[in-house]
Structure 1
Amino acid sequence: MGFSEGFWHHGYWLPPGATWEDLKESADTHYPQPQDLLLSIPGALLLIIARCIFERTVALPLGRWLGVSDKMRPKVQPNATLEGFYVLLGRTPKEEDLISLAKQSDLPVKKVQTWFRHRRAQDRPRVMKKFCEASWRFAFYFTSFFSGLALLYDKPWFWDHTVCWLRFPQQPLLPALGWFYLLELSFYCSLVATLPFDVKRKDFKEQIIHHIATITLIFVSYCANLTRFGVIVMVVHDASDYILELAKMLHYMKWKGVCEAVFLVFAVVFIISRLLIFPLITYYYFVTKFQLFLIICLINIFLMILQLLHIFWSYLIIQMIVCVILQGQKRKDARSDTEESDRSEAEDLAKTEE
């Protein structure tokens, strides 16, 4: 048995008693085919191109029209010694390094400290860049969420999740759901591809874990014909994402009151959808009512990873609401940008940019 044949053995992917013959296509019946997912590669490239066009032709003019502006930042004087240390050894030198650099550059220590502070400020992502990123994600999540609702609204298994498993795995794939799957997979692949160029935040590692888990779940659930369940999970996740991106946009526009109101709505939707609805549809119906086999066990592991991330982010959201919005405290939050003088995502949604 070759690797490919062993990898796709029906005993791993399908419940006991089912084989790939049960999912054989006919003229009027289509089942998920793993090769369909290869379309996500050009799909991700198309989304990256669409994003670049959107940010330049829609988000950038919109941001300017709404009054989004970048704060002027002091430019540092060129200094090869200090620049070399900054690039190669670190952006925040220790006290002994500052003294050594001051001697090498023939500058006072205070001026060296100021140079590094201004140099770090130059590298911080600008407000307009953040606004454009948030606008693109808002447009996608808004479109995907309401498109998903439109696709699922008349499906009986959307309202009664037990129907998801009737006659499984012999559930023909509706073309619209197949394209929805490809769109979501393409989007998350595009997010992974653009991670090095996007604004980095302190939960950067958690975001990578989230994207990998999401891509794995989309791939595996499609190949195992768990598309009904998968689409419901994706719609539940999209329910709060576009609200968060809208809150970010409002913050960058400095509409503080509206921003805080929208963020509170996001917090309620996030906690309900991720901590109540998500566990209900996954663990109750999927884990307790479904016969286990290899792929189901793998899916359960990644679902639990997502749930742990949901709990982690819910804690940060609640902390932000209590400490920043309700009490008005000025404190950093774990979703702040990597740069030390930028405010956190949480504080960003309640305070003005530094």
Structure 2
Amino acid sequence: MAYFLRKALDTFWSPTVWLPPNTTWADIAPESSTEIQHADHRHLWYPIPLAFVMLLLRYLLEKYWFAPVGLSIGIKNSRPKKAPPNPVLEKAYSQSKKWKHKQIQGLAKQLDMTERQVERWLRLRKGQNKPSTLTKFCENSWRCLYYTFSFIFGITILWSKSWLWDINECWKDFPHQSLPNDIWWYYIISMSFYWSLCVSQFFDVKRKDFWQMFIHHIATIVLMVLSWIVNVFRIGSLVLVLHDCADIFLEGAKMAKYSGYQKVCDVIFAIFTVLWIITRVGIFPFWIIYNTSIKAPQMVPMFPAYYIFNSLLCILLVLHIFWTYLILKIVYNSLNAGQMEGDIRSSSEDYSVDSNNSNSVQNHTKSE
């Protein structure tokens, strides 16, 4: 068994797949050169324990900073009203959280209740598991703080790097490029954060795009790990800083909404929308992916990993397009309503019933 596992790993990590022609793993090993400091794959274990340190830091900040600030500006920590105990309705709810009109009619007759009473029970039951506004405010505050720090840190260290101003520098002397200490820290901190998100996502506010976000986190981690091992950290650092920019304003807009500052929320959300479109569906495909798919093969001999990296980047782009559609939908609805009414990542506790009954709850989506 060990033999076959070793054989599979050797095949997967074949230098003919991951490295340019006539290059071996020994050529880019940390000890291969005294002049060039290649990335050390053994350091990829560091972000995993650091992710739990980051989760602890988040807990302390939420408890001793974000929550007190939220309470001081009037954000409530009250829990939604619970649905009255009802074994029959609870059993039906456990089987399906989305009830059709016929099912509501049947339950109403079975329990000698009106359809409106059954619908009200369903609303309360679905709402009782939702987190308080303060909990959501704290979650967004943590993310806003991290993205702000990460973006400022990334721009600061990249400002003096040649590849920020000329992306073709990402491939100069590849794969023999030294990993600067500041880029080392940028990668380690970023990977720690995304590892922490993979854990906290199962405990945070549940949203409709839960699995899209999970795929996004995994794809990001895989890209960072592979770019570290193969020494394409230069393009990786550009992808990271590009992604942090708009996220600051998304989290800030949600914080403003939960705080009751609707006009501030509208302004921040407008800035976020513009930045998102510019960075995620503008710069990312037409600067980053264009360079990695069109320009890079002209400067570096073609090798199979080229397709792997570009496929992962395209997965991120597909997710960006999906979220851009949701953002524009929010903008359209907001213009009609006169204010930003929702969030591109709405709660997964949505439900609908058949709209043929005038007494039924109309199909809708509850925002966070």
TM-score norm. by structure 2 comes to 0.86
- The answer to which of 251-260 and 43-52 deviates more is 43-52
Q: In the TM superposition, what is the alpha-carbon distance from 1:261 to its structure 2 partner? A: 0.7
Aligned to 2:68: 61
Task: Kindly state the Cα deviation for residue 320 of structure 1 after the two structures are TM-superposed.
Answer: 2.1
Residue in 1 aligned with 2:161?
155
Written as runs of structure 1 = structure 2, the 5 A alignment for 1:1-354 is: 2-26=7-31, 29-70=36-77, 73-86=80-93, 88-102=94-108, 105=111, 107-291=113-297, 292-325=302-335, 328=338, 335-340=345-350, 343-344=366-367
Q: CA 1:273 to 1:4, structure 2 compared with 1: closer, same or farther past 3 Å?
A: same
* Inter-CA distance 334–53: structure 2 relative to 1 (3 Å threshold): closer
Measured against aligned partners, the alpha-carbon deviations of 1:273-294 in whole angstroms (never above 9, x if no partner) come to 1122212332332211223322
Deviation at 1:37, TM superposition (A): 0.9
Question: Cα–Cα, structure 1 residues 276 and 103, in superposed 2: closer, same or farther, change >3 Å?
Answer: closer
Between 1:76-85 and 1:212-221, the stretch displaced more is 76-85
Tell me which moved more, 201-210 or 214-223. 201-210
Structure 1 unaligned blocks of 5 or more: 346-354
Alignment RMSD (CA, Å): 2.4
Aligned counterparts of 2:45 and 2:343: Cα–Cα separation in 1: 39
How far has the Cα of 1:164 moved from its partner?
Answer: 1.4
Structure 1 pair 261–333 and aligned structure 2 pair: CA distance change class (3 A): closer
2:354 corresponding residue in structure 1: none
Contact 2:39 2:231 in 1 (8 A): yes
Deviates more, 1:295-304 or 1:91-100: 91-100
* Native 8 Å contact 2:17 2:305 kept in 1: yes
**CA deviation vs aligned residue, 1:249-283 (integer Å, no higher than 9, x gap):** 00101111111111111111111111222123323
Q: C-alpha separation between the residues in 1 aligned to 2:98 and 2:332?
A: 31
- CA shift in 2, pair 1:306/1:330, >3 Å: closer
Are the equivalent residues in 2 in contact too, given 1:92–1:116 (CA < 8 A)?
no
Structure 1 pair 268/94, CA: closer, same or farther in 2 (3 Å)? closer
Task: Please give the alpha-carbon distance, in whole angstroms, between the structure 2 residues aligned to 1:267 and 1:35.
Answer: 39
Q: Give the Å deviation of 1:48.
A: 1.6
After superposing the two structures, state which structure 1 stretch, 332-341 or 292-301, moved more.
332-341
Gaps of 5+ in 2: 1-5, 351-363
In the alignment, the residues of structure 1 paired with residue 113 and residue 341 of structure 2 have an alpha-carbon distance, to the nearest angstrom, of: 34
User: Residues of 2 paired with 1:36 and 1:72: CA distance?
Assistant: 43
Give the C-alpha shift of residue 205 in structure 1: 2.8
The structural deviation recorded for 1:133 is 0.8
Worse overlay, 133-142 or 3-12? 3-12
Q: Which moved further from structure 2: 162-171 or 191-200?
A: 191-200
Total equivalences in the alignment: 344
Please say if residues 213 and 302 of structure 1, whose CA atoms lie closer than 8 Å, have aligned partners that are also in contact: yes
Deviation, 1:30, is: 2.5
| TM, length-normalised to structure 1 | 0.89
SS at structure 2 position matched to 1:199: coil
Give the secondary structure class of the aligned counterpart of 1:123. Answer: coil
Cα 1:316–1:113 change in 2 (3 A) is closer
Distance of aligned partners of 1:76 and 1:319 in 2 relative to their CA distance in 1, 3 Å threshold: closer
Once the two structures are overlaid, the 10-residue window that deviates more, 214-223 or 281-290, is 281-290
Structure 1 stretch 173-182 or stretch 110-119: which is displaced more?
A: 110-119
Q: C-alpha distance in 2, partners of 1:344/1:70?
A: 18
Paired position in structure 2 for 1:348: none
Give, in whole Å, the separation in 2 of the partners of 1:273 and 1:97: 46
